[in-house]
């Protein structure tokens, strides 16, 4: 079996499972946010369940429209706050303690290797970087899981993506996954497990692995996953709140398809409007002016991303025709960025340094685009209207390219400003 099949088999009490099997599995963690949780809570109450299945296994995180941007957002956040109090949930994170959910849960050791995690947010697939099976589901599935601790799945087929070769300067996990999505398309892995491996993956640090698995959904994947190793152990040891288990794929496991990539040939890559698969080398887009630069989100809001952007923009200024918004993904990352002087670098460069929030990524707040405006962002989606007006445009990149673009006021590569 593949690692995905092994985790699913272990959670449904079977010796083995095969692609296409319909199973009912126990979940280790159920997740929802301030947009999706209110729907789940409404449906949960319809079930007649008097209490949740486990008060320590349900994470409710107000991060999308929080700090509350308007009255409607405030009402939604109040609803999940009240539900959390009523059920004595230990994993409710108020503003000031919260972060962008998919950065917060790994950081806090709440998701661990071998877990089965579902979340009413499509980027729940992020946790595959830890060697967990994690996938996004609908709010009604979350409601049922909050009551029963179980969810149904169709076991996905697995695809294997092998990466080898030395990474070029300023190329990281974001470029690898954008290159992959550009190769296979936004439905190239539809309802499949995307298993990433190879010498390049083995040398990637956890933040880059989290970025890759985060965007598996942008290729239609059911989940993204990386077999845990020494880097995984180094990350989870000391932070894991529960016992964990490393699963691996058998040598004779079956894959429906395989892809092989020479990473020495992958440049800093940008996804152009309006699909994550519409990729081009950043160096070919120097004619694209940008009104806004966003560095943050569950994709690239970790401390390493902050450091990368700060290294580019230190001692320089954001273009007078451009605004730059930097959003650390959690309170811990925010504080670390302050301690390391990164916040000062951004503010001195005349960028905004924000409290943790999903904010502009989903067109929520803190950086909505007007008609005709263009943004380059380290976020994960660039669909029509994703960050604001339907006639605005979003380009996706890594933090180094985004920071270089802020200085130039157009899409640029780091070499142009260093």
| Complete DSSP assignment for 105-144 | HHHTT-S-TT-EEEESSGGGGGGGGGT-EEEE--HHHHHH
Which CATH number does 3-261 carry?
Answer: 3.30.499.10
Of the pLDDT bands very low, low, confident and very high (cuts 50, 70, 90), residue 152 is: very high
Selection from 361, 224, 204, 223 nearest residue 298 by Cα: 361
Give the pLDDT confidence score for residue 345 in this predicted structure: 98
- What is the pLDDT of the chain when averaged over all its residues? 98
Selection from 120, 115, 121 nearest residue 44 by Cα: 120
Q: Which residues contact 409 (CB under 8 A, 6 or more apart)?
A: 289, 290, 319, 320, 321, 322
Angstrom CA distances, 74 to 30, 62, 69, 79, stand at 23, 10, 7, 9
pTM recorded for the entire structure:
0.98
Cα separation, 5 vs 255, in Å, equals 11
Give the pLDDT confidence score for residue 31 in this predicted structure: 98
Q: What is the mean pLDDT of residues 290-317?
A: 98
Q: Are 283 and 413 in contact (CB under 8 A)?
A: yes
Cα separation, 344 vs 226, in Å, equals 35
Give the pLDDT confidence score for residue 390 in this predicted structure: 98
Q: What is the mean pLDDT of residues 347-371?
A: 98
Task: Tell me the three state secondary structure of residue 330.
Answer: strand
Cα separation, 191 vs 223, in Å, equals 8
Cα separation, 303 vs 21, in Å, equals 40
Domain ranges of the chain: 3-261, 268-416
Give the pLDDT confidence score for residue 110 in this predicted structure: 98
Selection from 213, 179, 185 nearest residue 197 by Cα: 213
Give the pLDDT confidence score for residue 123 in this predicted structure: 98
Selection from 326, 281, 55, 293 nearest residue 179 by Cα: 281
Cα separation, 229 vs 226, in Å, equals 9
Of the pLDDT bands very low, low, confident and very high (cuts 50, 70, 90), residue 127 is: very high
Residue 271 tokens read as: 């996804």
Q: Are 309 and 414 in contact (CB under 8 A)?
A: no
Place of tokens 């894959």: 255
Q: How far is CA 75 from the centre of its chain?
A: 26
Share of residues in the chain with pLDDT > 90 (%): 100
Of the pLDDT bands very low, low, confident and very high (cuts 50, 70, 90), residue 55 is: very high
Give the pLDDT confidence score for residue 189 in this predicted structure: 98
Of the pLDDT bands very low, low, confident and very high (cuts 50, 70, 90), residue 114 is: very high
Residue 323 tokens read as: 């605004």
153-165 pLDDT tens trace:
999 999 999 999 9
Helix (H) or strand (E) holding 68: none
Cα separation, 228 vs 244, in Å, equals 11
268-416: what fold? Aconitase; domain 3 (3.30.499)
Give the pLDDT confidence score for residue 160 in this predicted structure: 98
Q: What is the mean pLDDT of residues 191-203?
A: 98
3-261 and 268-416 share one CATH topology?
yes
Helix (H) or strand (E) holding 326: strand 323-326
Bridge partners for 295 per DSSP: 326
């Amino acid at each position: 079996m593949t690692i995905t099949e092994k985790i699913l088999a272990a959670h449904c009490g079977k010796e083995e499972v095969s692609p296409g099997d319909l199973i009912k599995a126990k979940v280790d963690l159920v997740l929802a946010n301030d947009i999706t949780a209110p729907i789940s809570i409404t449906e949960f109450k319809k079930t007649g369940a008097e209490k949740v299945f486990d008060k320590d296994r349900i994470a409710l995180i107000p991060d999308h429209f929080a700090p509350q941007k308007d009255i409607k957002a405030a009402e939604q956040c109040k609803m999940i706050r009240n539900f959390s109090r009523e059920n004595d949930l230990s994993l409710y994170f108020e503003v000031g303690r919260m972060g962008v959910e998919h950065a917060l849960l790994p950081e806090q050791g709440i998701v661990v290797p071998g877990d089965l995690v579902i979340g009413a947010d499509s980027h729940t697939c992020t946790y595959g970087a830890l060697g967990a099976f994690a996938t996004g589901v609908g709010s009604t599935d979350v409601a049922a899981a909050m009551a029963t601790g179980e969810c149904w799945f169709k076991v996905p087929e697995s695809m294997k993506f092998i990466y080898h070769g030395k990474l070029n300067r300023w190329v990281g996990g974001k470029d690898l996954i954008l290159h992959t999505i550009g190769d296979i398309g936004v439905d190239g892995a539809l309802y499949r497990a995307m298993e990433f491996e190879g010498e390049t993956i083995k040398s990637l640090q956890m933040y880059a692995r989290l970025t890759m698995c985060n965007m598996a959904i942008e290729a239609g994947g059911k989940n993204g996953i990386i077999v845990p190793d020494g880097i995984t152990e180094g990350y989870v040891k000391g932070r894991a709140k529960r016992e964990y288990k490393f699963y691996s794929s058998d040598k004779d496991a079956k894959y429906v398809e395989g892809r092989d990539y020479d990473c020495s040939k992958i440049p800093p890559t940008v996804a152009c409007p309006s699909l994550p698969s519409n990729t081009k080398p950043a160096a070919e887009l120097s004619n694209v002016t940008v009104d806004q630069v966003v560095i943050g989100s569950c994709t690239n809001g970790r401390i390493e991303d902050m450091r990368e952007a700060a290294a580019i923009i230190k001692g320089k200024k954001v273009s007078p025709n451009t605004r730059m918004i930097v959003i650390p993904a959690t309170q811990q990352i925010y504080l670390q960025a302050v301690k390391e002087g990164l916040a000062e670098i951004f503010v001195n460069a005349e960028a905004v340094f924000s409290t943790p929030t999903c904010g502009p990524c989903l067109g929520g707040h803190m950086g909505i685009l007007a008609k005709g405006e263009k943004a380059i962002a380290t976020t994960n989606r660039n669909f029509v209207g994703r960050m604001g007006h339907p006639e605005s445009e979003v380009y996706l990149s890594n933090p180094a390219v985004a920071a270089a673009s802020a200085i130039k006021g157009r899409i640029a590569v780091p070499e142009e400003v260093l």
